[in-house]
Structure 1
């Protein structure tokens, strides 16, 4: 495990694919092709199969238009996620960390990790069911076998991002081809299929399943994932290059999500043409659908293709789930652990409940566990969508690439629909528990959970609006009508003899030191300081001697040596645990005449916002503070 000292997303593959080389024709588009396919597998993972099967078996082709609407919503939100990564070069986790206070970020991080674990649970169950259907192995054995795919990511990462994307595209192709052959066997009535694209009024069970289809469409971890994957492409920072990247990524997203739509529609159409038309309207389980395909279609190939597609769906989601977990941990905590360890931990968290359910209740309850994983994902969805819309609407950070008013209105409408539908599903489930005969402690915990979720949702949604309002008020307050003109009387200011520089060991350090040196050239003493914020530093203070403390001291000595070679005089200081207090202490003890700090690009979970740190420090010292953004 290590703490990151840079702010690049997926740093090992960041900008590893160069799009700046001159190309002509379709070759200009090819370097951008790939990220959306890794995202698209989340829209065809095993968690989506149950609602598609149930919708087709129970209502025929009637709900195809719901899939179309869901796909359009997903296309909008994924394009916003890609926009954030391309324009700001930040993934959603990094943007959240820079925007929200510590407590909200901690909650968002916990929910994101929970969503990834829930998604992984769906993948474990889907692959286990697929292995069981294909080979006849017991479910418990299938669940345990899924541990082995932990090492798949290790192999793929050795070959680079393009090979990983090619692997995922190959799995998506396997799923698509499998269902294309299934549809050829099923021979659906094309006239009825076309009618399914026409919106119809839904009531009762049809409405409930439609809500389930929409609610299970957008996966929250996909929004984190897409905003990071687009940064694997190196693009020039000028407006024309950014516009081209946005345009080509929109094409990539459209193609990939339409592939996902084809898979979901194929599952629904297959269920409609095979089960609905034959009167088997109660088919809802994946195993039931597999068992009925052979007798209904008259071929042994149909159930085999179904199981193969299920395994491919679970396996492809495994890779993208690992990447999403890495993005979330690095973005929120600035921590990185070995990818295979990260994968193994996530997979074990998913396997344990699956094994317990099989051992205690048997295979029959696995579908209920699969539904639970989708409920957990539903709970997290709003906490990913709302911040994303805030970020891409912010003109101060997105500039001319902030989304326009019509897109903004549409985005908020989609967010409201998705959040409302997901909250409705969860609320109905909670109400059934409250009205049931369950334990009182369970009801109390659910009530507390709803209170905490409501608080977090309201705070997360309103805080960016409040911050913008305060900024406007500050701007208006700065406009003061002075009653009388005054002459300036500029006193002689003593040149600083000691200049302190607060370093965070990011790419911003060079800029900070350069601006500090520019104040006084070689006549001053430059005080290089850094605050260690490890758990050891929190309790041991100056006695701390952990790995990070030693590495931080080495980094300070390296900077000091480089400045000394250039003829500058330096002093170095390490502070411990509390950033604000320690910066103030060091500045005062060193008798610094000026302090140079960065406005962002900070590290350490102890910060709320680096900008707030600047304010706190500035109010505690009486020397000039130069803030470098």
Structure 2
């Protein structure tokens, strides 16, 4: 059965209705903590360290402003998920033409891969700093995160949230201890909250901080995660869910702000005050911490970096699932989807180390943030359109003053990110490569036009008939129901204890008037290579067993014939079904799952996708 819900495996898995008082409020707490880890990932670390080491406490107000913008946008994202029961990607599929959702998915997936790339690099650096593990091995180890995510999802939403919160706690505790070690100046910290004019490198780093703070994948993720809470979908229930989720978001993002501020303050106190103004890379920060404060601070720093990378990568792969299912309505096996996302992020990191060395990872980290910034407008602009729409949001559309603040924030983000992209292109143009004029600049122009279309289309489409793009189409009238008489029925057998049940169900479908085709496939290595000409022991034994079934059925008054296939089970069953024009195929299912499916294969699933006749699965 298909599921149309966002993150269907955990949708409405946390019941809030049976709790009262503080327990009820706490039942809503969780989704924003998963989102908040994206606000303190290794990409943030790089910009915070650069800002603190180069300009001291001057850029703390930029962190605060970024956090307030993030709080506004994340609360809109939660509102969309709660009120409409759709995540941002699903809402985009409903609101925009089908063709536009393909590039929207491509951009969102590219941003998630870029974000995942930052987590991989950060975690690999953390492993190297703590265990002296080479970066190439550290990157290879991160592929096992996919297994961890599957394990956490199977344990339920609350267990996953507990894991993430514990990771966030480790990060926060590590920096709290480091703050006591470095003893920063409280007076100068307070002064850093005062807005100041920015230019040159300070402006560039400020843009980097904003770009690394407000991440597009978090908007997709939050709108989906709030749907894991089950509550009464009446006016009161929805209003209460919005309020409690805002509390959740405010607490979680303020925690993220304190972690980012702690990193910047740490860099300012440890490096800027000691005249070390050029510390920009995470490895440099670790080495200098060791030189200044001994072994305790750098060890805590590395542990926090691993925890941040681990937790951020879990949320990044979840976001990958959401954009694929939302924009394309495409669902593939969870382990495969997460493995693809992780591999697409690992490959560029892997080859960067192989061809350019470990030192090039810092540049790749910055590039990942630039790629991330390109997609931000494609998430923010539709989000504001959707939450402002009184027709779909009914009484929960955002107020005019919130709408104005949201548009100002989005304009600021898009403008600063466009400036960042233009500056990067200007830097690349000094090398004068042909790719710049053939690929980079045309791609930037096309993306700009697409962004303009995404902004304008919802305002124009309100005059037209609304879309009815439901996940699986509309229900049809069943009409009159007539009995179906199957006359040619295939039965797959493997001479296990399941055969009796499989054959019994098949006989009930056709009675004594149908013809039955007993199907068994010989899977030995010899059968795969030699086919029908093989005469090994297993083939002869299987032929005898199949004949016994055939004779047994004839004695009971049923017409049965035996058919042996060779080699690949799925291919052989499909070929026999087609050659004999079968009308129904009855198959026994063994019921193994997970790792056994990977090792032994999933015959039933593969067969039913390749035949055009009904398949009855018997367990």
Structure 1 residue 159: Cα displacement: 1.0
Offset from partner CA, 1:541-587 (integer Å, 9 cap, x none): xxxx98676799759x99xxxxxxxxxxxxxxxxxxxxxxxxxxxxx
SS in 2 for 1:201: coil
Aligned mate of 1:79, from 75, 79, 83:
75
Cα distance in structure 2, aligned partners of 1:290 and 1:402: 47
Q: Which residue of 1 aligns with 2:386?
A: 391
2:53 equivalent to 1:50? no
2:55 equivalent to 1:59? yes
Q: Which residue of 1 aligns with 2:440?
A: 446
Q: Which residue of 1 aligns with 2:311?
A: 316
Cα distance in structure 2, aligned partners of 1:258 and 1:142: 31
On the 8 A contact 1:15/1:231 being kept in 2, the answer is yes
Structure 1 residue 24: Cα displacement: 2.9
Structure 1 residue 408: Cα displacement: 0.5
Q: Which residue of 1 aligns with 2:295?
A: 300
Offset from partner CA, 1:35-84 (integer Å, 9 cap, x none): 00000000001011111001111111111111000000000000000000
On the 8 A contact 1:322/1:339 being kept in 2, the answer is no
Aligned mate of 1:188, from 184, 189, 194:
184
5 Å-filtered alignment, 1:92-107, equals 92-107=88-103
On the 8 A contact 1:5/1:505 being kept in 2, the answer is no
Cα distance in structure 1, aligned partners of 2:290 and 2:176: 16
Offset from partner CA, 1:569-609 (integer Å, 9 cap, x none): xxxxxxxxxxxxxxxxxxxxxxxxxxxxxxxxxxxxxxxxx
Aligned mate of 2:421, from 399, 422, 426:
426
Aligned mate of 1:329, from 324, 334, 339:
324
Task: Tell me how large the CA RMSD over aligned residues is.
Answer: 2.5
On the 8 A contact 1:6/1:506 being kept in 2, the answer is no
**1:503–1:145 CA distance, 2 compared to 1 (3 A):** closer
Cα distance in structure 2, aligned partners of 1:129 and 1:338: 31
SS in 1 for 2:115: helix
Cα distance in structure 2, aligned partners of 1:503 and 1:373: 34
Larger Rg: 2
**1:244–1:467 CA distance, 2 compared to 1 (3 A):** same
Cα distance in structure 2, aligned partners of 1:257 and 1:74: 8
Aligned mate of 1:463, from 447, 457, 462:
457
SS in 1 for 2:274: coil
Q: Which residue of 2 aligns with 1:561?
A: none
Cα distance in structure 2, aligned partners of 1:553 and 1:73: 55
Task: Provide runs of 4+ in structure 1 moved above 3 Å.
Answer: 469-472, 502-508, 545-555
Q: Which residue of 2 aligns with 1:201?
A: 197
Cα distance in structure 2, aligned partners of 1:283 and 1:25: 49
Cα distance in structure 2, aligned partners of 1:326 and 1:46: 22
Structure 1 residue 340: Cα displacement: 2.0
On the 8 A contact 2:317/2:342 being kept in 1, the answer is no
SS in 2 for 1:62: coil
Q: Which residue of 2 aligns with 1:437?
A: 431
Cα distance in structure 2, aligned partners of 1:327 and 1:108: 13
Structure 1 residue 322: Cα displacement: 1.4
SS in 1 for 2:372: helix
Structure 1 residue 507: Cα displacement: 9.0
Structure 1 residue 363: Cα displacement: 0.8
Aligned mate of 2:278, from 276, 279, 282:
282
- Unaligned ranges ≥5, structure 1: 473-501, 526-544, 559-629
**1:503–1:307 CA distance, 2 compared to 1 (3 A):** closer
5 Å-filtered alignment, 1:112-261, equals 112-261=108-257
**1:438–1:102 CA distance, 2 compared to 1 (3 A):** same
5 Å-filtered alignment, 1:208-607, equals 208-297=204-293, 299-434=294-429, 436-470=430-464, 506=472, 509=475, 512-513=476-477
Structure 1 residue 440: Cα displacement: 1.7
SS in 2 for 1:438: coil
On the 8 A contact 2:101/2:328 being kept in 1, the answer is no
Q: Which residue of 2 aligns with 1:622?
A: none
- Unaligned ranges ≥5, structure 2: 483-584, 586-605
Cα distance in structure 2, aligned partners of 1:547 and 1:128: 42
Cα distance in structure 2, aligned partners of 1:105 and 1:505: 14
SS in 2 for 1:237: coil
Cα distance in structure 2, aligned partners of 1:296 and 1:24: 51
On the 8 A contact 1:5/1:504 being kept in 2, the answer is no
**1:235–1:447 CA distance, 2 compared to 1 (3 A):** same
Q: Which residue of 1 aligns with 2:531?
A: none
On the 8 A contact 1:6/1:507 being kept in 2, the answer is no
Q: How many residues are matched?
A: 495
Cα distance in structure 2, aligned partners of 1:554 and 1:320: 39
2:49 equivalent to 1:18? no
**1:229–1:158 CA distance, 2 compared to 1 (3 A):** same
On the 8 A contact 1:168/1:316 being kept in 2, the answer is yes
Structure 1 residue 447: Cα displacement: 2.1
